[in-house]
Each structure stands twice: as C-alpha cells, then as structure tokens.
Amino acid sequence: MEAILISDLILYLHIGTTDEEQSRSQKVLISIEIEPATIREIGDALENTIDYSAVRRGLRSLLRGERFNLIETVADRAARYALENFRAKQVTVTVKKFPYRDTAHVGYRLSLGKSD
C-alpha cells in the first residue's frame, strides 16, 4: 500500500463541550494518511500524485474559524474533505488535543473509504 502522510499539523480551534473550552482556541494536532485511488507510475511528476501541500492548505482553510464540540467531528470533516477533493481510496485521520495536565493527549482516529 502507498499513502501520503501528513503528521501532526498544528491548528488552533475552538473545540470542546463546555463554555470554558469554547471560550478560547485550543491546540490540536491533525494527522492524515491518504491512500491514492489508483497506483500508477509517478515518474517524479507532481500531477501524478496527491499534493500534500494542497491537502495541508485545504485542511487549514476548511477548519479555520469553525467551532466544534467533538474531535470526532473534526476527524470526520477532514476525512470527507480528503476523499472528495483528492484522488483517494482510503483516508485515515487522527486528531489529538491536550485538555489535561496529567495526560500527553486525548485523541480520535477515523478511517473512511470511498464506499463510506
């Protein structure tokens, strides 16, 4: 299997289920793995692959300024965006946030394919 990987893209989002959480933006890390719909000869040409820079810009644009209750919603929105806008067969998104001092992070992982 081949995949494009973006690990720990840093975003600051209004996310959480309490007024306190929603009152300020919080750091989240988003990782995405995109399996191309077709395996083909890349030939060292950008147009023959998924442009990770375009994925990154798109995710930032999609999520910036939004308010979310759940990291699950962020993961779903990011995965569906990648499936709809890039030649992807399967997408896995992991979202991490840092609400507790005694925990490295909490997170959610979602995998979606073209049939989901």
The CA distance from 78 to 9, in Å, is: 12
- Residue 65 makes CB contacts below 8 A (sequence gap 6+) with none
CA angle 74, 110, 62 (to 5 degrees): 30
pLDDT tens over the chain, length 116 residues: 788 999 999 999 999 998 888 889 999 999 999 998 776 666 666 666 788 999 999 999 999 989 999 999 999 999 999 999 998 899 999 999 999 999 999 999 999 998 76
DSSP E strand boundaries for the chain: 4-15, 26-36, 67-68, 88-97, 106-113
Domains observed in the chain: 4-113 (3.30.1130.10)
Per the structure block, which two tokens stand in for 102? 């005694």
